[in-house]
């Protein structure tokens, strides 16, 4: 779609209108309005209402405000102290009011219980009201807009008693670029973040370099991307924020390569690999990739929305996983705020490292053949299905508590974990890993002996005078020399009764 003349006239290399160069493909809204983002009261917003009523309001006097920003907050009615805090940064030619009305964050603030801070820049700072993610005088620790945002966090913690350990930041486009910078500048402040159609942290340090970041591969290694984060707060060693990355595959304003660079940057910072440890499909043609740490907890995730142009993914409706309203750069695909909030752990108040259902227990390799391994585990309450991973990659999604992995190489060891998946598709914590080895070939080995000798040989166990096959737990009768059974080994340390079968 061609540029509107009014926007085209403003669009220069200095303006750096990330998110405003073209109308986003698929948007049902009219062309964006050039909204002033001054500190005045937003249109049609009850800015003087008491925050305990759940109203959107302006907050003044939040600090020295070197970035010349305005602060707006939304707090659900009756929110207790100790609740989380989310900072939500609008895109270019948008305002705090636009983000309050369209992004869907207030729905989940009410549902899950947290405060939202909506910072607002102005056309006095940037001709298209873009946050200055590309300017080291405004987007670095201790200066400019970055410092103003952190002053807002401090003010909100004071006003609402927010939990300083559960502060998160998200943003769209230029707001996404600023969110990435804030995660790098203040990893001691933010427990997690989300970059929606945005840029890697400190990709550009001048206005002249910004366009290149938006449009092309910068040719940096993951270590070089990670160094940009580590150098933003020298001497800091962690813990690092948990990061969600959202990208439309058809975005021509902030090209999809930025999502790849963001993944490389934050997996490097976390010290984990660039191969996903799990993948799942979401509504709106969305694919989510997980990147887990050594404990099996996803700390980086990438959401790719097929066919979506430039904007924030929303999905209006009353469903549990629906949110927001369409508008300029608010695109009806999938509710990004819902999935981001759950990734951070805001849905159950467990913090950024423990969202979703608990890990299944009792994962066991119940049987093996030269080409397959059968698994079993204990059921998890509330699970609609289970995600089975072999060596970190998803291989099955059974609804029950058993799964057989086929097509494997003979005589080869494989590692497995299982996670429960709830009805909304959210994946819980992973189980402890189990390693199983396929048989080398030929027929399973059988052993015929008395129960007494089976126990002595380690193929069975005894309890209360009775004998049970090792692994399968099948009852074999009394533990003595008079009762004889045949046991067939079907896996490492796993035997089944096979009388008359061998």
At residue 85, the pLDDT reads 98
At residue 91, the pLDDT reads 97
The token pair at 86 is 């989310």
Q: Tokens 């533990």 map to which residue?
A: 479
| pLDDT one-digit tens code per residue, 450-487 | 999 999 999 999 988 999 998 888 999 999 999 999 99
- Identify the CA nearest to 122 among candidates 114, 113, 131: 131
Are residues 272 and 299 in contact, defined by beta-carbon separation less than 8 angstroms? yes
Q: Which residues of 6-17 are buried (b: 16+ CB within 10 A; e: fewer)?
A: ebeebbeeebbb
Distance CA 324, CA 105 (A): 8
The token pair at 280 is 């799942």
At residue 36, the pLDDT reads 30
- By CB atoms closer than 10 A (0-12, 13-18, 19+), residue 373 is buried
Torsion of CA 453, 456, 459, 465, to 10 degrees: 80
At residue 409, the pLDDT reads 83
At residue 441, the pLDDT reads 67
Omega before residue 47 within 30° of 0, cis: no
Across-strand partners of 376?
364, 402
Report how far apart, in Å, the C-alpha atoms of 53 and of each of 82, 147, 162, 362 are: 18, 29, 17, 47
The token pair at 169 is 């930041």
Active-site annotation holder among 173, 337, 374, 472: 173
Q: Tokens 């209108």 map to which residue?
A: 17
| pLDDT one-digit tens code per residue, 324-378 | 999 999 999 999 999 999 999 998 633 333 345 777 888 999 888 888 899 999 9
At residue 443, the pLDDT reads 65
| Catalytic residue flag (residue 431) | no
Assessment of whether the complete model's pTM goes beyond 0.85: no
- By CB atoms closer than 10 A (0-12, 13-18, 19+), residue 330 is buried
Per-residue pLDDT of the chain (502 residues; tens, 9 = 90+): 333 322 332 333 333 333 333 333 222 222 222 233 333 333 333 333 333 447 899 999 999 999 999 999 999 988 999 999 999 999 999 999 999 999 999 999 999 999 999 999 999 999 999 999 999 999 999 999 999 999 999 999 999 999 999 999 999 999 999 999 999 999 999 999 999 999 999 999 988 899 999 999 999 999 999 999 999 999 999 899 999 999 999 999 999 999 999 999 999 999 999 999 888 888 899 999 999 998 888 999 999 999 999 999 999 998 888 999 999 999 999 999 999 999 999 986 333 333 457 778 889 998 888 888 999 999 987 788 999 988 877 899 999 999 999 988 888 888 898 988 888 777 877 788 888 888 876 667 899 999 999 999 999 999 889 999 988 889 999 999 999 999 988 776 788 899 998 8
At residue 322, the pLDDT reads 93
Q: Which residues of 251-280 are buried (b: 16+ CB within 10 A; e: fewer)?
A: bebbbebbbbbbbbbbbbbbebeeebbbeb
At residue 356, the pLDDT reads 55
| pLDDT one-digit tens code per residue, 107-162 | 999 999 999 999 999 999 999 999 999 999 999 999 999 999 999 999 999 999 99
């Amino acid at each position: 779609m061609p540029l509107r003349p009014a926007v085209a006239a403003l669009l220069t290399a200095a303006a750096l209108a990330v998110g405003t160069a073209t109308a986003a493909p698929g948007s049902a809204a009219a062309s964006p309005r050039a909204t002033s983002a001054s500190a005045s009261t937003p249109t049609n917003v009850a800015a003087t209402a008491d925050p305990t009523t759940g109203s959107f309001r302006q907050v003044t006097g939040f600090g020295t405000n070197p970035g010349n920003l305005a602060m707006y907050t939304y707090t659900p009615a009756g929110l207790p102290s100790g609740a989380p805090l989310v900072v939500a940064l609008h895109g270019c030619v948008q305002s705090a009011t636009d983000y309050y009305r369209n992004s869907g964050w207030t729905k989940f603030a009410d549902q899950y219980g947290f405060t939202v801070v909506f910072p607002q820049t102005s056309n006095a700072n940037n001709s298209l009201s873009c946050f200055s993610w590309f300017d080291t005088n405004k987007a670095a620790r201790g200066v400019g807009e970055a410092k103003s945002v952190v002053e807002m966090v401090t003010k909100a913690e004071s006003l609402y008693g927010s939990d300083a350990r559960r502060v998160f930041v998200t943003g769209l486009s230029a707001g996404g670029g600023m969110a990435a910078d804030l995660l790098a500048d203040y990893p001691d402040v933010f427990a997690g973040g989300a970059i929606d159609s945005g840029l890697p942290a400190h990709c550009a340090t001048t206005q002249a370099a910004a366009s290149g970041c938006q449009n092309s591969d910068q040719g940096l290694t993951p270590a070089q991307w990670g160094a940009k984060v580590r150098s933003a707060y020298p001497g800091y060693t962690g813990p690092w924020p948990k990061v969600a990355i959202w990208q439309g595959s058809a975005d021509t304003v902030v090209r999809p390569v930025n999502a790849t660079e963001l993944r490389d940057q934050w997996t490097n910072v976390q010290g984990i690999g660039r191969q996903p440890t799990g993948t799942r499909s979401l509504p709106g043609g969305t694919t989510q990739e997980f990147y887990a740490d050594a404990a099996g907890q996803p700390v980086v995730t990438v959401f790719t929305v097929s066919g979506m142009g430039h904007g924030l993914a929303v999905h209006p409706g009353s469903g549990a996983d629906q949110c927001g309203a369409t508008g300029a750069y608010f695109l009806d695909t999938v509710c990004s705020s819902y999935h981001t909030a759950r990734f951070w752990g805001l849905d159950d108040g467990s913090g950024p490292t423990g969202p979703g259902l608990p890990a299944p227990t009792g994962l066991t390799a119940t049987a093996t053949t030269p080409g397959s391994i059968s698994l079993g585990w204990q059921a998890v309450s509330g699970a609609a299905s289970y995600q089975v991973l072999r060596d970190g990659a998803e291989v099955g999604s059974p609804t029950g508590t058993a799964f057989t992995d086929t097509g494997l190489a003979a005589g080869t060891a494989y590692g497995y974990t299982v996670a429960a998946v709830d009805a909304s598709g959210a994946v819980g914590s992973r189980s402890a890993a189990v390693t199983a080895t396929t048989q080398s070939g030929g027929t399973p080995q059988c052993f015929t002996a008395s129960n007494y000798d089976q126990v002595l040989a380690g193929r069975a166990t005894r309890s209360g005078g009775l004998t049970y096959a090792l692994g399968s737990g099948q009852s074999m009768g009394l533990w003595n020399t008079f009762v004889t059974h045949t046991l067939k080994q079907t896996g490492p340390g796993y035997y089944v009764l096979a009388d008359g079968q061998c």
